[in-house]
A and B are shown apart, each in its own frame.
Chain A
Amino acid sequence: MNGAFARLNRWLEAILSAGLVASAGVLLGGLALGSERTLHAGLVLLVATPVARVLAVTAGFAHARDWLFAALSFGVLAVLAIGTVLGVAAAR
């Protein structure tokens, strides 16, 4: 199965790297400026990085017509969405 997903692997690697570089940059800026809002934005970016990765895996499985696993990845996205909604609701 490694061969079949070699291209998807490279995409996932690129998405994770981009997300990490972006959040690290924002967090560094936030620490340098002493800005809590910037730090918060950096942490949101950091949390979003693996979520973007799940999106890509979902698309990758769908592209390979591997519907069972595409549905499973979509389920993971749904759980993440529920977590956000419940977390925000608890904060109110």
Chain B
Amino acid sequence: MPEYPPLLLALAGAATGMLGAVLGLGGGVFLVPLLTLVFGLPIRAVIAASLFSVIATASASATVSLRRGLVNLRLGMLLEVATTIGGLAGGLVASRLSQRQLFLTFGGTLAAMGVLAALRSGRRNVIADPSVDPGRLGGRITEGTTEYVYRVRRLGVAGAASLAAGAIAGLLGLGGGIVKVPVLTTFCGVPIRVAAATSTFVIGVTASAAAIPYLARGDVALPLTSAVALGALPGSLAGAWLSELVQARSLKLLMAAVLLAVGARMGLEGL
């Protein structure tokens, strides 16, 4: 395994953490390709390192979105039940997959989510009439001076997506936001800012569930993992603040473009 100075690895963690936080993702979706394709590190060690940086990134950006009141706690806990089960399962079976299978799964997942995000980027999920009852799982958000209401639909879809997101987290070292956010906004009526904030909130626990088997097995490259996770902290905080400045629609389109490009590149590596 090539050796790199901790500062360089921390910078990689910071850059990918920032980009991830802007998009409401854990950052692993950029970190894993960067460390495997550019740094040439083995994908297994990178997946474990990525899980820890995802915990740092997601927890740091969750502090920001909690303060803004964007996290839907009830919906979050409901999704967490599914993502932790998936995350644990993924973390346990990851050691059985080959390097090639890991690259192909990674590429295929990203490409599929990119297509979904691109197709539905024009939708708005909010109701402008504040007197509408949001129900037990829905909620209210304010954008500027206007208050919007949203209701959560198709919980079964949200649960299934969360289970898949968790499994992907454990297998590929991602938070799973790339699966949950598009599904929550496309099928379940959740506005993108709430979906991103709630997903990030959930991701910290998902990644923990997935990371626990790695840590317990002693299957973690300690200096690599620590440097990357340390860098991800300030990067993701900066990104969470930056995300305030970006338009919801451009956020969705940027996410779609990035997913397609990174997915194609990772898939090629497995062929």
Contact = CB atoms under 8 A, between A and B. Distances in A.
B6 interface: yes
Given A76-B81, A79-B85, A69 B74 contact: yes
B158 interface: no
Interface of A: 1-2, 5-6, 8-10, 12-13, 16-17, 19-20, 23-24, 27-28, 30-31, 36, 39-40, 42-44, 46-51, 53-54, 57, 60-61, 66, 69, 72-73, 75-76, 79-80, 82-84, 86-88, 90-91
A75 B205 CA distance: 13
Given A13-B63, A50-B208, A31 B223 contact: yes
Interface string B54-84: 0110111011001101011110011011001
Contacts of A88: 216
The 9 A-B residue pairs with the shortest CB-CB distance, nearest first, are: A87-B216, A50-B204, A87-B213, A39-B222, A2-B69, A79-B84, A83-B88, A83-B212, A50-B205
Secondary structure type dominating chain B contacts: helix
B114 to A, nearest CB: 27
Interface of B: 6, 52, 55-56, 58-60, 62-63, 66-67, 69, 71-74, 77-78, 80-81, 84-85, 88, 91-92, 134, 139-140, 204-205, 207-209, 211-218, 220, 222-223, 225-227, 229-230, 233
